[in-house]
A = this chain, B = another copy of it.
Amino acid sequence: MAIEHAILVSLLEQPGSGYELARRFERSIGYFWTATHQQIYRVLKRMENDGWVDVRAVVQQGRPDKKEYSVADLGRAALTSWLHDPIEPESVRHDLAVKIRGAAFDDPSALLREVERHRQAHADRLARYLAGEDRDFGGHTDGGSYGPEGAERELQHVVLRGGITYERMMIAWLDDVLATLHRFRAER
C-alpha cells in the first residue's frame, strides 16, 4: 500500500480538502511522492468508505464549498501498523539513464540538450527547496506563523534536507554525464 499513507501523514500534519492535498503534493509531500488530484479524490473516497478519515463540509465565501478531511481512529491505526511494517528499499526508475545508455546508438547531440534541460530542472528544484528551507526552517522565529513544532518540524526538515541532497547529487552527476557526452562527441 502506498498513497494512502502519504495522505494520512499529510492529514495528521494538517487536515484539509482533496484540493488542498493535491496542492501539497505539488510541493512539500511532492518532494518524494507525486499524485494527481484524480488519484487523490479516488483514494480519499475509498478511505472514507473504510472509515480511515472523517469528512466535514465547510462552507466558504468567495469560493466553492469544500470537504475537509481529517484522520479517524481507524486511519491512525492503519498508519501505525504500516509504520511498523518493514518496507523494501525503493526501486528507482530513471528514463534518463536508459537514454544515456541508448545514446551509444544515436547521435549524442540531442541527448546533450536533454541532459542540459534536466540539469536546469534540478537546479530550479534545488532553488525552490532552499527557498523553502529558509522560509520554514531559517533561524528567524516568525511570531506570526503557526507551523508545526518540535519533532514534527525536525522530521519535516530532515526530509527536506534529503530532497536538497538529492538535487545536489543529481546536478553533480548530470555534470559528469555532460562531460562524458562532450568527450564522446569530440571523439567522433
When distances are taken between beta carbons in the complex, the residues of chain B under 8 Å from A118 are 89
When distances are taken between beta carbons in the complex, the residues of chain B under 8 Å from A184 are 151, 154-155
Q: How large is the interface on A (under 10, 10 to 19, 20 to 34, 35 or more residues)?
A: 35 or more
How far is the CB of A121 from the nearest CB of chain B, in Å? 4
Q: Please report the C-alpha to C-alpha distance between residue A6 and residue B95 in the assembled complex, in whole angstroms.
A: 8
Spell out A's residues near B (CB within 8 Å).
Answer: 2, 5-6, 8-9, 12-13, 29, 31-34, 76, 79-80, 82-84, 86-87, 89-106, 108, 110-111, 114, 117-118, 121-122, 125, 148, 150-152, 154-159, 161-162, 165-166, 169, 172-173, 176-177, 180, 183-184, 187
When distances are taken between beta carbons in the complex, the residues of chain B under 8 Å from A156 are 101, 104
Main secondary structure of the interface of A (DSSP, over half): helix
Copies of this chain, whole number = 2
Cross-chain contact B176 with A172 (CB below 8 angstroms)? no
Cross-chain contact A102 with B117 (CB below 8 angstroms)? no
When distances are taken between beta carbons in the complex, the residues of chain B under 8 Å from A93 are 2, 32-34, 90
Cross-chain contact B99 with A32 (CB below 8 angstroms)? no
